[in-house]
Amino acid sequence: MKFKLLVIFSGLLFSNAVLANAKTTVEDYIEQWKEIAIRQMHSHKIPASITMAQGILESSFGNSELAVKANNHFGIKCHGWEGAKIYKDDDAKNECFRKYPSAEMSYEDHSLFLTSRPRYGSLFQLEITDYAGWAHGLKAAGYATNPKYAKRLIDLIERYNLDALDHQDFVPNTELIAEKSLTETTKKNPVLESNNSNTKVKRREVVTNTNRTKYVIAREGDTFYQLSLELGMTLRQLHKYNDFPPNKDHLVEGDIVYITPKRNRSKKSLNKVKLDSDSEIWELSQEYGLKLRNLMQINAISSPTFALQKGEVIHLR
């Protein structure tokens, strides 16, 4: 009798251990998060199939350490993040990753991450159903280092018919996003706050410089995506007008953001300038409203991030 009880007790312990270590299946993950992916598609114009495939791949369908411990389903690193953080070995040792109060916020921040960075701007010119174009575009823009990243996304989409999500309408469900979590997170991260539809934006002044080029000044918390919506421009157009280098992932308060094309050269009364501080050639392009390519050509400079020293003379025409 004691032996039978011991066997039953051991069996219960084993069953509980199995349940405790049970992992989410891909099918369960899709069922749990597909509505959120569709919501993000209608809010931010990112294919739900891509969001879903990235979530599956980056989080090991909800079972990765980042997903379990930090609600981070997309492997997004800190990069200026002011919220909670978690550290983990990745491409380098002890790298910083974003930590969210809920997994839903990870999905929202994934959308904001893509829409606020100019290097992903060209993706938003694609059809919402072009998942293959999006997959290759994400890889080309540097979202992941794995050379097979695009193929892995496409394989997941086609294996689980995720492209069907791209054709679905969104039925609002107020329970999908916890307002409390959103409020707590936006206090720590102005990027999220600036994209909250309830945020009131003050009227923005448009400035015309001496080179007859129009621009606005970035405010604290501004993002490329938010500005594009406010100004009625595409992300690709905004990036083209401003010649931002690929490593400029976010706007800083005080940044000049052009809303009309910059000039090929400066006016005749301003042929050259002597730098009063260290700078990079693309920063001068912004300051004087000149196209970066032309400014580089005039001064025989090959890199947009070429470091210029205080006292150097730079030709503007």
At 18, which amino acid appears?
Answer: V
- Sorted by sequence, the CB contacts under 8 Å of residue 175 that are 6+ apart come out as none
pLDDT in tens, 70-100: 999 999 998 778 788 999 888 788 899 999 9
Q: Is the domain of 224 the same as that of 294?
A: yes
| Residue 185 burial by Cβ neighbours in a 10 Å radius (0-12, 13-18, 19+) | buried
Question: What's the pLDDT score for residue 250?
Answer: 75
For the chain, the distance separating the N- and C-terminal CA atoms, rounded to the nearest angstrom, is 97
245 DSSP assignment: -
Q: Is the domain of 139 the same as that of 245?
A: no
Give the residue from 83, 87, 140, 92 showing the smallest Cα distance to 112.
Answer: 83
Specify the CATH number for the domain of residue 284: 3.10.350.10
The answer to whether the beta carbons of residues 97 and 70 sit under 8 Å apart is yes
Mean pLDDT of the chain, nearest integer: 78
Query: Confidence class of residue 196 from pLDDT cuts 50, 70 and 90?
Result: very low
Q: Output the CA–CA distances (angstroms, integers) from residue 129 to 37, 142, 166, 183, in the order listed.
A: 14, 21, 6, 32
Q: Is the domain of 188 the same as that of 211?
A: no
Average pLDDT over residues 12-20: 36
- Sorted by sequence, the CB contacts under 8 Å of residue 18 that are 6+ apart come out as none
The answer to whether the beta carbons of residues 108 and 42 sit under 8 Å apart is no
Quote the tokens at residue 274.
């002597």
Give the residue from 98, 55, 75, 235 showing the smallest Cα distance to 144.
Answer: 75
Q: Is the domain of 247 the same as that of 187?
A: no
Cβ count within 10 A of residue 145: 9
Q: Is the domain of 252 the same as that of 293?
A: yes
The span from the CA of 194 to the CA of 98, in Å, is 18
pLDDT surpassing 70 at residue 62: yes
The span from the CA of 260 to the CA of 105, in Å, is 34
Domain final residue, candidates 157, 192, 227: 192
In a domain, 214, yes or no: yes
In a domain, 93, yes or no: no
Question: What's the pLDDT score for residue 203?
Answer: 62
Q: Is the domain of 137 the same as that of 286?
A: no
> Which residue range forms the structural domain that includes residue 282?
207-315
Give the residue from 53, 12, 19, 295 showing the smallest Cα distance to 165.
Answer: 53
In a domain, 182, yes or no: yes
Domain final residue, candidates 153, 169, 192: 192
pLDDT in tens, 274-311: 888 888 888 888 888 888 888 888 888 877 777 888 87
Q: Is the domain of 39 the same as that of 131?
A: yes
pLDDT in tens, 19-48: 334 478 999 999 999 999 998 898 888 999
Top pLDDT among 238 and 95 is at 95
- Convert 48-71 to b/e letters by CB count within 10 Å (16 or more is b): bbbbbbbbbbbbbbbebebbeebb
Question: What's the pLDDT score for residue 170?
Answer: 53
Domain final residue, candidates 129, 164, 192: 192
Instruction: Look at the pTM and tell me if it is higher than 0.75.
Output: no
In a domain, 59, yes or no: yes
Q: Is the domain of 272 the same as that of 211?
A: yes
Q: Is the domain of 187 the same as that of 52?
A: yes
pLDDT surpassing 50 at residue 180: no
Specify the CATH number for the domain of residue 132: 1.10.530.10
In a domain, 13, yes or no: no
In a domain, 240, yes or no: yes
Give the residue from 299, 245, 265, 317 showing the smallest Cα distance to 308.
Answer: 299
Considering the chain, what percentage of its residues have pLDDT values greater than 70?
81
Q: Is the domain of 163 the same as that of 213?
A: no
In a domain, 186, yes or no: yes
Question: What's the pLDDT score for residue 179?
Answer: 36
Phi, psi (degrees; rounded to nearest 5) at 233? -120, 160
* Secondary structure percentages of the chain, helix, strand, coil, to 5: 45, 10, 45
In a domain, 255, yes or no: yes
Query: Confidence class of residue 272 from pLDDT cuts 50, 70 and 90?
Result: confident
Q: Is the domain of 43 the same as that of 187?
A: yes
Longest dimension (CA), the chain: 103
Quote the tokens at residue 201.
């934006």
How many structural domains does the chain have?
Answer: 2
Average pLDDT over residues 261-266: 84
Quote the tokens at residue 224.
């490329």
The answer to whether the beta carbons of residues 13 and 6 sit under 8 Å apart is no
Handedness of CA 99, 150, 165, 191 (dihedral sign): positive
Q: Is the domain of 212 the same as that of 292?
A: yes
Top pLDDT among 232 and 199 is at 232
